[in-house]
Structure 1
Amino acid sequence: MARLCAALAAPVLVAVLTGAPALAHGAPTTPLSRSAGCQPDGKWAKTAACKAVVETSGKVDWDNLRLANVNGRDRQKVPDGKLCSAGLSGFRGLDLPRADWPTTSFASGSQVTFTYKGTIPHQGTFRWYLTKNGYDPTKPLRWADLDDAPFLTAKDPALKGGNYTMTGRLPAGRTGRHLMYTVWQNSSTPDTYYSCADVVLTGGAPAPASTSASAKASPTATATAAAAPVTEPSASEPAVADLPRVERVSNSKHVPLPLVFSAAAALAFAAAALLFVLRRRRV
């Protein structure tokens, strides 16, 4: 009985000692998300934007913004204009369209190590999206404002030092104010978590065209950036289709067909000549 009571009391004791809900789970901290930055002790709690969040929806339960049983149907389950709150009324202040949300700065096209603070470990896949050029923070965020594909996907990164860490390369060619949208689809629970983080992208070196950014793979985690666009060959490096036929087969192990036919003809001629000689001897 004593063991049972201790087991039931443990989650409550953890919540009391840490000041976090027993069933809370996490949010991005690099870049700092709206929910993490606007929590009562958050870095941005005293800003006008965070004060407006509290006035709109009350105290933010920063690491517990989640929906159950989404199963990858994010665009069907989370309505336009409510992406940052996932449509939950208790987080509706995070959807406020305004130009003074605090931001984190990155160089466009740079490789970045992202961190996602975790309060309870889970397995699952992180998907990181970026807004398209022309994004306006003073208008409600829509799915159409985001790229169709994530620029970074990370499956089952380990929770170390209280953080999930994953590395990827930001899309090149984007500058100014943007929004980074993170979807964390759990595989160990039926929940999916959503986060908005405001960023400013500055001019930087373009991403390499020949390779895609990726984190070092491990048995427990993989992170992959969106594939870079395919580049056309330069004028000094002709495409394979433009090369003469003889060059394209010169390194091949196969014998060119003209030589095969010539050898066959010679063999047939020799056989005929031998047969002719044998018949003459019999005569």
Structure 2
Amino acid sequence: MSRRKISSIVAALATAAATICALLLGLAPAQAHGVAIVPGSRTYLCYQDGLTGTGALTPTNPACQAAVAQSGTTPLYNWFAVLDSNANGRGQGYVPDGTLCSAGNKSPYDFSAYNAARDDWPKTHLTSGATIEVDYSNWAAHPGEFRVYLTKQGWSPTTPLAWADLSLLATVPNPPQVGTPGTDGGHYHWNTTLPSGRSGAAEMLIQWVRSDSPENFFSCSDLVFDGGNGEVTGIHLPSSSSSPTATPTPTSTPTPTSSPTATPTSTPTVTPTATPTSTMSSSGCMATYTIVGSWSGGFQASVEVMNHNSLPISSWTLKWQTGTGTTITNLWNGTLATSGSNVTVKNAAYNGTISANSSTTFGFTANSTGNNFPTGSISCTAS
């Protein structure tokens, strides 16, 4: 399935859920709005992070949790409504510094919490100098242009975003669209080449300037230049299927290139659930954490360790903290050490070497009271 098709499906599900939830809660669903969905804006990714099977929004990301604590979930049900009805193309000198991610606090909804200067917002991992496709939701279609800004090298996410931090990266007039405007899943799309020589954190601000109205839309996307290929970190997607009741064991036996030091202890029988994924990284080493299956009292996870560096690595180490009541019971294709809720997994003797832009995988089963994802961030270091 193509990346554009996947983006369309994700946007469709998110928009449909937003409208249904807003109606159920007695909120008037917003019309004629949009924010970036690739790379995802703060409101879009916090909405994705908060989705539950009940329709309630309960984010797990600390920055998203703080935003909900400050302004509630109504802004997230209207994640596409970061707007100023009278901006009329005005930016610097009109939208105050420190309020760029909330459209100067002019929206009908309170997005002020999404201006918070902190480094734990959901992030999209990219490669300096690469060309990426930007997808921007078009819940209603309008003529106009998209002004794409990017923070300068050295900008810190722990300082309030100011116009002086930004450089204009591109101006895109009337890009093509996918999907039908006014229905689920539609979005504008265009290619943008990222600047070379970049590393570390960055913020992408997109101002959608309508030419048929003074209404403008604002979108803030948190990025990190670490050799990534568009992976999103700091969120997870909820399972959409019921949990099996069978006693679990790993779904597959690992097939290392040489004799392993640890292998699963039993034959697989569990039926997997949907695969919610949380991705985290440090430098060019990145880990993707996926729930393969869950049941009453436990779950099975698969972790892919990726090398986005330009040279091979010879060893890797992951560290994270488990949720309350979670204990890893069996791990394969890695070496496990635990201390309370602190987990350290190092490579096995046979899978420490990962060539450039390649990956390896380990898995585990765990007892759990429902806290199946890591708490906080996970570090991935390599040498």
Aligned twin of 1:154:
172
CA distance in 2, matches of 1:54, 1:18: 16
Map 1:187-198 → 2, pairs under 5 A: 187-198=211-222
Is 1:181 the counterpart of 2:205? The answer is yes
1:55 to 55, 69, 89: 69
CA distance in 2, matches of 1:110, 1:135: 20
What's the TM-score, normalizing by structure 2?
Answer: 0.46
Deviation, structure 1 residue 29 = 0.8
CA distance in 2, matches of 1:17, 1:146: 35
- More displaced 10-residue stretch of structure 1: 61-70 or 18-27: 18-27
Deviation, structure 1 residue 78 = 0.7
Gapped runs of 5+ residues in structure 1?
1-13, 205-283
Aligned twin of 1:108:
128
Is 1:31 the counterpart of 2:46? The answer is no
Q: Sort the Cα spacing of 1:139 and 1:22 in 2 relative to 1 into closer, same or farther, 3 A.
A: closer
- Structure 1 runs (4+) deviating above 6 angstroms are none
CA distance in 1, matches of 2:58, 2:226: 22
8 A Cα contact 1:135 1:177, kept in partner:
yes
CA distance in 2, matches of 1:177, 1:37: 17
8 A Cα contact 1:176 1:200, kept in partner:
yes
Larger Rg: 1
8 A Cα contact 1:32 1:197, kept in partner:
yes
Q: Deviations over 1:36-64 (max 9, x none)?
A: 11224399932111011111222222111
CA distance in 1, matches of 2:197, 2:208: 26
Deviation, structure 1 residue 189 = 2.4
8 A Cα contact 2:176 2:190, kept in partner:
no
Q: Deviations over 1:104-146 (max 9, x none)?
A: 0111011111101121111110011110011111111111111
CA distance in 2, matches of 1:105, 1:111: 13
The residue identity in structure 1 corresponding to 2:175 is P
The residue identity in structure 1 corresponding to 2:135 is T
The residue identity in structure 2 corresponding to 1:180 is M
Deviation, structure 1 residue 18 = 8.8
CA distance in 2, matches of 1:167, 1:44: 33
CA distance in 2, matches of 1:113, 1:168: 6
Q: Deviations over 1:185-219 (max 9, x none)?
A: 01122211001000011359xxxxxxxxxxxxxxx
8 A Cα contact 1:38 1:44, kept in partner:
no
Gapped runs of 5+ residues in structure 2?
1-17, 180-185, 229-383
What's the TM-score, normalizing by structure 1?
Answer: 0.62
> Number of aligned pairs?
189
Secondary structure class of the residue paired with 1:50: helix
The residue identity in structure 2 corresponding to 1:176 is G
Map 1:41-52 → 2, pairs under 5 A: 41=51, 45-52=59-66
The residue identity in structure 2 corresponding to 1:113 is E
1:70 to 87, 95, 105: 87
Q: Sort the Cα spacing of 1:86 and 1:93 in 2 relative to 1 into closer, same or farther, 3 A.
A: same
Is 1:170 the counterpart of 2:194? The answer is yes
2:156 to 136, 146, 155: 136
Deviation, structure 1 residue 72 = 2.3
8 A Cα contact 1:84 1:194, kept in partner:
yes
Structure having the larger proportion of residues in helix: 1
Is 1:79 the counterpart of 2:89? The answer is no
Aligned twin of 2:254:
none
CA distance in 2, matches of 1:70, 1:34: 21
CA distance in 1, matches of 2:61, 2:215: 30
- More displaced 10-residue stretch of structure 1: 184-193 or 21-30: 21-30
Give aligned-pair identity as a percent. Answer: 40
Q: Sort the Cα spacing of 1:71 and 1:22 in 2 relative to 1 into closer, same or farther, 3 A.
A: closer
Aligned twin of 2:266:
none
Deviation, structure 1 residue 17 = 9.3
CA distance in 2, matches of 1:44, 1:111: 34
CA distance in 2, matches of 1:98, 1:105: 17
Aligned twin of 1:228:
none
